[in-house]
C-alpha cells in the first residue's frame, strides 16, 4: 500500500514538475521571442538612425566642403584683388 501511495506521490511530483517546466519553458520562449523582436527592432532603429546620422554627417561635410571651397575661392579672389 505504501508503495502505491509513494508511486502516486512521485507521479504527482513528476506531473507538477513537468507542468511547471512547461510553464517555465513557455514563459522563457515568450520572453526570448520578445527579446529577439526587441533586438531586431532596436537593430533596425539603430540602422535607420545610423543611416540618417550618416546622411546628416554627409550633408554637414558637403556644406563644410562648399564653405571651405567658397572660402578658398574668396581668399583666392581676395589675393587677386591685391
Q: Report, as an integer, the average pLDDT of 12-19.
A: 43
**Which has the higher per-residue pLDDT, 5 or 56?**
56
Report the alpha-carbon angle 9-12-18, nearest 5: 140
19-64 confidence digits (pLDDT tens): 444 444 444 455 555 556 666 666 666 666 667 666 777 777 776 6
- Measured between alpha carbons, how far is 1 from 7 in angstroms, rounded to an integer? 10
* pLDDT value for 29: 52
* pTM of the full structure: 0.29
* pLDDT value for 81: 47
Amino acid at each position: 500500500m505504501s508503495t502505491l501511495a509513494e508511486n502516486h506521490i512521485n507521479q504527482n511530483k513528476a506531473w507538477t514538475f513537468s507542468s511547471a517546466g512547461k510553464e517555465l519553458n513557455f514563459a522563457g520562449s515568450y520572453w526570448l521571442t520578445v527579446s529577439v523582436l526587441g533586438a531586431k527592432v532596436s537593430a533596425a532603429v539603430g540602422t535607420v538612425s545610423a543611416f540618417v546620422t550618416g546622411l546628416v554627417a554627409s550633408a554637414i561635410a558637403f556644406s563644410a566642403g562648399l564653405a571651405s571651397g567658397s572660402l578658398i575661392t574668396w581668399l583666392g579672389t581676395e589675393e587677386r584683388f591685391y
